[in-house]
Amino acid sequence: MNKEKAHDEFKLFLKAGKHRITPERFEVLSYAFESGDHFTADDLYLEMKNGKSNVSRATVYNSLELLVKCEMLAKRNFGENKTFYESSYNRKNHVHLICKECGEIIESNNIKVAELVNSIAKKNNFINESFQFNILGKCKKHSK
Amino acid sequence: MNKEKAHDEFKLFLKAGKHRITPERFEVLSYAFESGDHFTADDLYLEMKNGKSNVSRATVYNSLELLVKCEMLAKRNFGENKTFYESSYNRKNHVHLICKECGEIIESNNIKVAELVNSIAKKNNFINESFQFNILGKCKKHSK
DNA sequence: TTCAGTGCAAAAACTTTGCAGGAGG
DNA sequence: CCTCCTGCAAAGTTTTTGCACTGAA
């Protein structure tokens, strides 16, 4: 997704939900999309501060939640007790492989995951909305 | 796993790792196995305090980590920023279905999950040690 | 003009650490 | 007797909240 399209989509979402259109929210959007694949709210806040942005920590947290609600970002959580965000555009059904040695996060797309999720949900009378699928272990470099 | 067997297994593990055999560690073990399927360290600490146990918070955290290391408990994390523990006895390869409405956690066992994990790991030159597989959505009661 | 959104700092929630005293081996 | 473990409290981390002010509609 390019930046302009993202900007417009977020704007529409804000209007629809009667949230105000503020420059701070678009600043967060812009940094979020320039940031790496997986970042935390605080990382982004510090990055923005470095980049001479004056957006406050509270606003960063708030704006990221709005971006999750409008499905432009997805929340992840990899075992440490902190929340990561990632762009969710065109990224359904993917799995994270997380190296316990170096923390590297590899993403893998596998068509069978979605099928499996649906079949498990169905079997348990459960309405599937999203999933987290993390495989923990050692990456190639650290498998000694 | 019955309580005595668990006690013995933990004892052997402690000896093997040159950890001391202390009454506090076995108290934590005992409460952990009487506690629900998924509990946090702090929940357990408060429960123990209620139960007139004098074990400190630090010791609860420490002992739970030892129980994870000896593979009697598994660490989980369901999207909120806190660590849950669960008994890992006879519970490889299971998936959690978490209701966003009421927080209920359903467990599902599915033989295909392990196969899929192994095949994804292999494809990415990754050594699979464990996984987290959570499906988020609505349970039967809340699917309206 | 109005009130949602903002910045700031304080509080909250969960976990880890430092230290002095106590008990396991 | 030597340390590892313990309890306690303090500190650390990440996230949320309260409050007074500001700016979007």
Q: Beginning with the edge strand found earlier in the chain, give each strand of the sheet holding A94-99 in spatial order.
A: A105-109, A94-99, A127-138, B127-138, B94-99, B105-109
Residues counted in chain A: 144
Closest approach of chain B CAs to the CA of A135, in angstroms?
A: 4
Q: Could you report the per-residue pLDDT of A44-74, keeping only the tens digit for each?
A: 999 999 998 999 999 999 999 999 999 999 9
Cα of B21 vs its chain's centroid, Å:
22
Q: Which CATH number is correct for B3-87, 3.40.50.2000, 1.10.10.10, 3.40.50.2300, 3.40.1260.10?
A: 1.10.10.10
Distance B27 CA to D2 C1' (A): 26
Q: Could you report the per-residue pLDDT of A6-19, keeping only the tens digit for each?
A: 999 999 999 999 99
Give the number of other CB atoms < 10 A from CB of residue A99: 19
> What is the pLDDT at residue B89?
63
> What is the pLDDT at residue B53?
92
Q: Which CATH number is correct for B95-142, 3.30.1490.190, 1.20.1440.230, 3.40.50.300, 3.40.1190.20?
A: 3.30.1490.190
Distance A63 CA to C11 C1' (A): 21
DSSP secondary structure, B43-99, as one string: HHHHHHHHTT----HHHHHHHHHHHHHTTSEEEE--SSSS-EEEE-TT-TTEEEEEE
Cα atoms found within 13 Å of the Cα of residue B61, Cβ hemisphere only: 6
Q: Which helix (H) or strand (E) holds A123?
A: helix A111-123
pTM: 0.79
> What is the pLDDT at residue B25?
98
Supply the mean pLDDT for chain B: 90
Give the number of other CB atoms < 10 A from CB of residue A103: 10
Question: What distances in angstroms separate CA A134 from CA A36, A105, B95, B134, one per listed residue?
Answer: 18, 9, 11, 9
Nearby residues of A124 by Cβ (< 8 Å), 6 or more positions away: B97, B106, B108
> What is the pLDDT at residue A126?
94
In this complex, the residue of A100, A116, A121 whose CB is nearest that of residue B129 is: A100
Q: Which residues of B touch A126 (CB under 8 A)?
A: 97, 99, 106, 135, 137-140, 143
In this complex, the residue of B79, B97, B127 whose CB is nearest that of residue A138 is: B127
Q: Could you report the per-residue pLDDT of B54-65, keeping only the tens digit for each?
A: 999 999 999 999
Nearby residues of A77 by Cβ (< 8 Å), 6 or more positions away: A83, A84, A132, B77, B79, B81
Chain C footprint positions (protein CB, under 7 Å)? 4-10, 13-18, 23-25
Residues counted in chain B: 144
Query: How far is A132 from A21, CA to CA, in rounded Å?
Result: 31
Q: Where do the domains of chain A lie?
A: 3-87, 95-142
